[in-house]
A and B are shown apart, each in its own frame.
Chain A
Amino acid sequence: MRREASARGGASESEVRYTPYHPTWYRRRMPIFWWLGRRSYTKFIARELTSLFVAYTAALLGAQLLALARGPVAYARFTTWLTGPFVLAFHVFVFLALLFHAVTWFGLAPRALVIKVGGRHLPESLVAGAHYAGWAALSALLAWLVVGAG
Protein backbone atom coordinates (compact mmCIF):
# COMPACT_ATOMS: atom_id res chain seq x y z
CA MET A 1 0.00 0.00 0.00
CA ARG A 2 2.78 2.37 1.00
CA ARG A 3 4.66 1.47 -2.14
CA GLU A 4 1.67 2.42 -4.17
CA ALA A 5 1.58 5.74 -2.40
CA SER A 6 5.19 6.50 -3.25
CA ALA A 7 4.69 5.26 -6.78
CA ARG A 8 1.99 7.79 -7.13
CA GLY A 9 4.61 10.35 -6.20
CA GLY A 10 2.72 11.69 -3.24
CA ALA A 11 5.02 10.45 -0.44
CA SER A 12 8.36 12.00 0.51
CA GLU A 13 11.36 9.85 1.57
CA SER A 14 10.77 10.33 5.28
CA GLU A 15 7.47 8.58 4.96
CA VAL A 16 9.03 5.34 3.76
CA ARG A 17 8.90 2.90 6.64
CA TYR A 18 9.97 -0.69 6.61
CA THR A 19 7.85 -3.43 8.02
CA PRO A 20 9.23 -5.23 11.11
CA TYR A 21 9.22 -8.44 9.13
CA HIS A 22 12.77 -9.74 8.80
CA PRO A 23 13.44 -12.37 6.17
CA THR A 24 15.53 -15.28 7.48
CA TRP A 25 18.00 -17.05 5.27
CA TYR A 26 17.80 -20.78 4.87
CA ARG A 27 19.94 -22.66 7.33
CA ARG A 28 19.94 -26.40 7.70
CA ARG A 29 19.14 -27.42 11.26
CA MET A 30 21.97 -29.39 12.85
CA PRO A 31 21.16 -31.85 15.61
CA ILE A 32 23.01 -31.10 18.86
CA PHE A 33 24.82 -34.42 18.75
CA TRP A 34 26.03 -34.02 15.15
CA TRP A 35 29.51 -35.03 16.23
CA LEU A 36 28.49 -38.59 17.16
CA GLY A 37 27.88 -39.46 13.52
CA ARG A 38 31.45 -39.90 12.44
CA ARG A 39 34.57 -41.14 14.20
CA SER A 40 36.69 -38.14 13.30
CA TYR A 41 34.01 -35.75 14.60
CA THR A 42 33.73 -37.68 17.87
CA LYS A 43 37.50 -37.60 18.22
CA PHE A 44 37.47 -33.85 17.63
CA ILE A 45 34.90 -33.25 20.37
CA ALA A 46 36.71 -35.68 22.72
CA ARG A 47 39.91 -33.73 22.11
CA GLU A 48 38.13 -30.46 22.86
CA LEU A 49 36.59 -31.90 26.03
CA THR A 50 40.02 -32.81 27.45
CA SER A 51 40.13 -29.13 28.41
CA LEU A 52 37.66 -29.94 31.21
CA PHE A 53 40.19 -32.35 32.71
CA VAL A 54 42.98 -29.83 32.30
CA ALA A 55 40.86 -27.38 34.33
CA TYR A 56 40.01 -30.06 36.92
CA THR A 57 43.70 -30.90 37.33
CA ALA A 58 44.62 -27.23 37.75
CA ALA A 59 41.88 -26.82 40.37
CA LEU A 60 42.84 -29.94 42.32
CA LEU A 61 46.54 -29.02 42.20
CA GLY A 62 45.44 -25.72 43.74
CA ALA A 63 43.56 -27.64 46.43
CA GLN A 64 46.66 -29.75 47.06
CA LEU A 65 48.76 -26.59 47.45
CA LEU A 66 46.20 -25.18 49.88
CA ALA A 67 46.33 -28.40 51.92
CA LEU A 68 50.11 -28.16 51.83
CA ALA A 69 49.92 -24.56 53.09
CA ARG A 70 47.53 -25.48 55.92
CA GLY A 71 49.97 -27.95 57.42
CA PRO A 72 50.71 -31.66 57.87
CA VAL A 73 47.27 -32.59 59.27
CA ALA A 74 45.33 -31.02 56.40
CA TYR A 75 47.80 -32.50 53.92
CA ALA A 76 47.41 -35.99 55.40
CA ARG A 77 43.64 -35.62 55.03
CA PHE A 78 44.14 -34.71 51.37
CA THR A 79 46.42 -37.68 50.63
CA THR A 80 44.00 -40.05 52.40
CA TRP A 81 41.22 -38.74 50.15
CA LEU A 82 43.41 -39.51 47.13
CA THR A 83 43.48 -43.23 48.06
CA GLY A 84 39.68 -43.65 47.87
CA PRO A 85 38.70 -46.21 45.20
CA PHE A 86 36.34 -43.87 43.35
CA VAL A 87 38.83 -41.03 43.47
CA LEU A 88 41.57 -43.34 42.15
CA ALA A 89 39.35 -44.68 39.37
CA PHE A 90 38.41 -41.14 38.37
CA HIS A 91 42.04 -40.09 38.38
CA VAL A 92 42.93 -42.98 36.05
CA PHE A 93 40.37 -41.52 33.67
CA VAL A 94 41.76 -38.00 34.17
CA PHE A 95 45.26 -39.32 33.49
CA LEU A 96 44.13 -40.96 30.23
CA ALA A 97 42.36 -37.77 29.16
CA LEU A 98 45.53 -35.76 29.83
CA LEU A 99 47.58 -38.26 27.80
CA PHE A 100 45.06 -37.90 24.97
CA HIS A 101 45.41 -34.13 25.22
CA ALA A 102 49.22 -34.36 25.15
CA VAL A 103 49.38 -36.73 22.17
CA THR A 104 46.85 -34.78 20.09
CA TRP A 105 48.50 -31.49 21.09
CA PHE A 106 51.98 -32.59 20.02
CA GLY A 107 50.42 -34.05 16.88
CA LEU A 108 49.05 -30.62 15.95
CA ALA A 109 52.09 -28.63 17.07
CA PRO A 110 54.12 -29.11 13.84
CA ARG A 111 51.26 -27.64 11.85
CA ALA A 112 50.80 -24.65 14.17
CA LEU A 113 54.52 -24.06 14.61
CA VAL A 114 56.14 -23.80 11.23
CA ILE A 115 59.81 -23.04 11.73
CA LYS A 116 61.98 -21.84 8.91
CA VAL A 117 65.69 -22.48 9.00
CA GLY A 118 67.77 -21.05 6.17
CA GLY A 119 64.71 -20.52 3.99
CA ARG A 120 63.55 -24.08 4.40
CA HIS A 121 60.78 -25.47 6.63
CA LEU A 122 61.87 -27.80 9.39
CA PRO A 123 60.26 -31.20 8.73
CA GLU A 124 57.13 -31.95 10.78
CA SER A 125 58.70 -35.05 12.28
CA LEU A 126 61.55 -32.97 13.71
CA VAL A 127 59.20 -30.45 15.36
CA ALA A 128 57.02 -33.26 16.74
CA GLY A 129 60.11 -35.16 17.85
CA ALA A 130 61.42 -32.12 19.72
CA HIS A 131 58.09 -31.81 21.54
CA TYR A 132 58.13 -35.49 22.53
CA ALA A 133 61.74 -35.23 23.70
CA GLY A 134 60.87 -32.17 25.79
CA TRP A 135 57.85 -34.00 27.19
CA ALA A 136 59.97 -36.98 28.21
CA ALA A 137 62.64 -34.79 29.79
CA LEU A 138 60.23 -32.58 31.75
CA SER A 139 58.15 -35.60 32.85
CA ALA A 140 61.28 -37.30 34.16
CA LEU A 141 62.37 -34.14 35.99
CA LEU A 142 58.94 -33.56 37.56
CA ALA A 143 58.56 -37.20 38.56
CA TRP A 144 62.03 -37.16 40.14
CA LEU A 145 61.13 -33.96 42.04
CA VAL A 146 57.77 -35.07 43.44
CA VAL A 147 58.58 -38.70 44.29
CA GLY A 148 59.36 -38.99 47.98
CA ALA A 149 62.77 -39.81 49.38
CA GLY A 150 61.20 -43.01 50.71
Chain B
Amino acid sequence: MSGSRGAPARRSREPLLWALFSAGGTLAALALPALVGVLWLAAPLGWVPAASHAELATLARAPAARLFLFALLSLALFHWAHRFRYTLYDGLQLYHLNRLIAVCTYGAATLGTVLAAWLIWVRL
Protein backbone atom coordinates (compact mmCIF):
# COMPACT_ATOMS: atom_id res chain seq x y z
CA MET B 1 0.00 0.00 0.00
CA SER B 2 2.73 2.42 0.95
CA GLY B 3 4.26 2.16 -2.49
CA SER B 4 1.15 3.43 -4.26
CA ARG B 5 0.37 6.26 -1.86
CA GLY B 6 1.25 8.95 -4.38
CA ALA B 7 -0.85 7.75 -7.27
CA PRO B 8 -4.41 7.77 -5.83
CA ALA B 9 -3.80 11.19 -4.27
CA ARG B 10 -2.83 12.61 -7.64
CA ARG B 11 -5.74 10.92 -9.32
CA SER B 12 -8.22 12.36 -6.82
CA ARG B 13 -7.03 15.90 -7.51
CA GLU B 14 -7.94 15.64 -11.19
CA PRO B 15 -11.76 15.97 -10.80
CA LEU B 16 -11.33 19.19 -8.79
CA LEU B 17 -8.98 20.67 -11.40
CA TRP B 18 -11.36 19.62 -14.15
CA ALA B 19 -14.31 21.20 -12.31
CA LEU B 20 -12.40 24.49 -11.99
CA PHE B 21 -11.44 24.28 -15.68
CA SER B 22 -15.02 23.59 -16.66
CA ALA B 23 -16.56 26.33 -14.50
CA GLY B 24 -13.96 28.81 -15.74
CA GLY B 25 -14.58 27.88 -19.36
CA THR B 26 -18.31 28.40 -18.97
CA LEU B 27 -17.99 31.68 -17.12
CA ALA B 28 -15.38 32.96 -19.60
CA ALA B 29 -17.57 31.99 -22.55
CA LEU B 30 -20.64 33.64 -21.01
CA ALA B 31 -19.09 36.89 -19.78
CA LEU B 32 -15.81 37.74 -21.48
CA PRO B 33 -16.92 38.46 -25.08
CA ALA B 34 -19.43 41.06 -23.85
CA LEU B 35 -16.97 42.68 -21.43
CA VAL B 36 -14.15 42.84 -23.99
CA GLY B 37 -16.53 43.95 -26.75
CA VAL B 38 -17.86 46.88 -24.73
CA LEU B 39 -14.95 47.91 -22.47
CA TRP B 40 -12.00 47.41 -24.83
CA LEU B 41 -13.56 47.82 -28.30
CA ALA B 42 -16.88 49.67 -28.47
CA ALA B 43 -16.08 52.25 -25.77
CA PRO B 44 -12.51 53.11 -26.91
CA LEU B 45 -13.76 53.34 -30.53
CA GLY B 46 -16.56 55.68 -29.45
CA TRP B 47 -19.37 53.40 -30.67
CA VAL B 48 -20.99 53.54 -27.24
CA PRO B 49 -20.55 56.12 -24.47
CA ALA B 50 -17.70 55.06 -22.16
CA ALA B 51 -18.61 54.67 -18.52
CA SER B 52 -16.95 57.26 -16.30
CA HIS B 53 -14.53 56.38 -13.51
CA ALA B 54 -17.20 57.14 -10.91
CA GLU B 55 -19.83 55.02 -12.64
CA LEU B 56 -17.58 51.98 -13.00
CA ALA B 57 -16.10 52.32 -9.50
CA THR B 58 -19.59 52.39 -7.97
CA LEU B 59 -20.61 49.38 -10.06
CA ALA B 60 -17.49 47.34 -9.26
CA ARG B 61 -17.79 48.03 -5.50
CA ALA B 62 -21.26 46.51 -5.27
CA PRO B 63 -21.02 43.29 -3.19
CA ALA B 64 -22.49 41.14 -5.97
CA ALA B 65 -20.10 42.68 -8.52
CA ARG B 66 -17.08 41.95 -6.30
CA LEU B 67 -18.15 38.33 -5.94
CA PHE B 68 -18.78 38.01 -9.68
CA LEU B 69 -15.43 39.61 -10.58
CA PHE B 70 -13.54 37.39 -8.16
CA ALA B 71 -15.19 34.23 -9.51
CA LEU B 72 -14.61 35.37 -13.08
CA LEU B 73 -10.91 36.23 -12.66
CA SER B 74 -10.03 33.21 -10.55
CA LEU B 75 -11.93 30.61 -12.55
CA ALA B 76 -10.72 32.05 -15.86
CA LEU B 77 -7.15 31.61 -14.62
CA PHE B 78 -7.78 28.01 -13.54
CA HIS B 79 -9.40 27.39 -16.92
CA TRP B 80 -6.23 28.64 -18.58
CA ALA B 81 -3.98 26.65 -16.26
CA HIS B 82 -5.68 23.34 -16.97
CA ARG B 83 -6.10 23.81 -20.70
CA PHE B 84 -2.66 25.26 -21.31
CA ARG B 85 -1.08 22.48 -19.28
CA TYR B 86 -2.59 19.87 -21.56
CA THR B 87 -1.84 21.91 -24.69
CA LEU B 88 1.83 21.78 -23.77
CA TYR B 89 1.46 18.10 -22.93
CA ASP B 90 -0.30 17.06 -26.16
CA GLY B 91 0.81 19.76 -28.56
CA LEU B 92 4.47 20.12 -27.73
CA GLN B 93 4.76 16.67 -26.13
CA LEU B 94 6.65 17.91 -23.12
CA TYR B 95 5.94 14.70 -21.22
CA HIS B 96 9.14 14.84 -19.20
CA LEU B 97 8.25 18.32 -17.87
CA ASN B 98 4.73 17.31 -16.81
CA ARG B 99 5.28 17.93 -13.09
CA LEU B 100 7.06 21.27 -13.59
CA ILE B 101 4.39 22.54 -16.00
CA ALA B 102 1.60 21.57 -13.59
CA VAL B 103 3.31 23.37 -10.71
CA CYS B 104 3.83 26.50 -12.85
CA THR B 105 0.33 26.69 -14.36
CA TYR B 106 -1.77 25.85 -11.28
CA GLY B 107 0.68 27.85 -9.18
CA ALA B 108 0.18 30.92 -11.39
CA ALA B 109 -3.60 30.49 -11.18
CA THR B 110 -3.44 30.21 -7.39
CA LEU B 111 -1.24 33.31 -7.17
CA GLY B 112 -3.64 35.13 -9.50
CA THR B 113 -6.56 34.13 -7.29
CA VAL B 114 -4.86 35.57 -4.20
CA LEU B 115 -4.01 38.77 -6.13
CA ALA B 116 -7.59 39.04 -7.38
CA ALA B 117 -8.96 38.70 -3.83
CA TRP B 118 -6.56 41.41 -2.60
CA LEU B 119 -7.42 43.65 -5.55
CA ILE B 120 -11.17 43.26 -5.25
CA TRP B 121 -11.67 43.34 -1.49
CA VAL B 122 -8.66 45.35 -0.28
CA ARG B 123 -7.66 47.79 -2.99
CA LEU B 124 -10.97 48.51 -4.69
Do A146 and B38 touch (CB < 8 A)?
yes
8 Å CB contact of B84 from A52, A59, A71, A138: A52
Do A147 and B53 touch (CB < 8 A)?
no
Q: Which residues of A are found within 8 Å of B93, using beta-carbon distances?
A: 30, 32
Interface SS, B side: helix
Do B44 and A82 touch (CB < 8 A)?
yes
Q: A32-B93, A146-B59 are in contact. Are A139 and B33 (CB under 8 A)?
A: yes
Q: Which residues of A are found within 8 Å of B48, using beta-carbon distances?
A: 147-148, 150
Give the docked Cα–Cα distance between A102 and B30 (Å): 7
Give the docked Cα–Cα distance between A90 and B123 (Å): 28
User: A11 in the interface, Cβ–Cβ < 8 Å?
Assistant: no
Give the docked Cα–Cα distance between A142 and B65 (Å): 11
Q: Which residues of B are found within 8 Å of A134, using beta-carbon distances?
A: 30
Q: Which residues of A are found within 8 Å of B30, using beta-carbon distances?
A: 102, 134-135, 138-139
Give the docked Cα–Cα distance between A55 and B28 (Å): 10
8 Å CB contact of A91 from B36, B49, B55, B120: B36
Give the docked Cα–Cα distance between A24 and B50 (Å): 62
Q: A69-B124, A101-B28 are in contact. Are A148 and B84 (CB under 8 A)?
A: no
Chain B interface bracket (under 10, 10 to 19, 20 to 34, 35 or more): 35 or more
Give the docked Cα–Cα distance between A82 and B36 (Å): 11
What's the least CB distance linking A37 to chain B, in Å? 13
8 Å CB contact of A112 from B22, B76, B91: B22
CB-nearest residue of chain A to B85:
A51
Do A146 and B39 touch (CB < 8 A)?
yes
What's the least CB distance linking B28 to chain A, in Å? 5
User: B26 in the interface, Cβ–Cβ < 8 Å?
Assistant: yes
User: A122 in the interface, Cβ–Cβ < 8 Å?
Assistant: no
The 8 A CB mask of B71-100 against A (1 = contact, 0 = none) is 011001101100110110011110000000
Do B49 and A150 touch (CB < 8 A)?
yes
Q: Which residues of A are found within 8 Å of B4, using beta-carbon distances?
A: none
Listed in ascending order, the chain A residues whose CB lies under 8 Å from chain B are 30, 32, 35, 45, 48-49, 51-52, 54-55, 57-62, 64-66, 68-69, 71-72, 75-76, 79, 82-83, 88, 91-92, 94-95, 98-99, 101-102, 105-106, 109, 112, 134-135, 138-140, 142-143, 145-150
21 residue pairs of the A-B complex, CB under 8 angstroms, read A32-B92, A45-B91, A51-B83, A54-B32, A55-B77, A57-B32, A58-B72, A59-B112, A61-B69, A62-B116, A65-B60, A94-B40, A98-B28, A101-B25, A101-B32, A138-B31, A138-B34, A146-B51, A147-B43, A147-B49, A149-B51
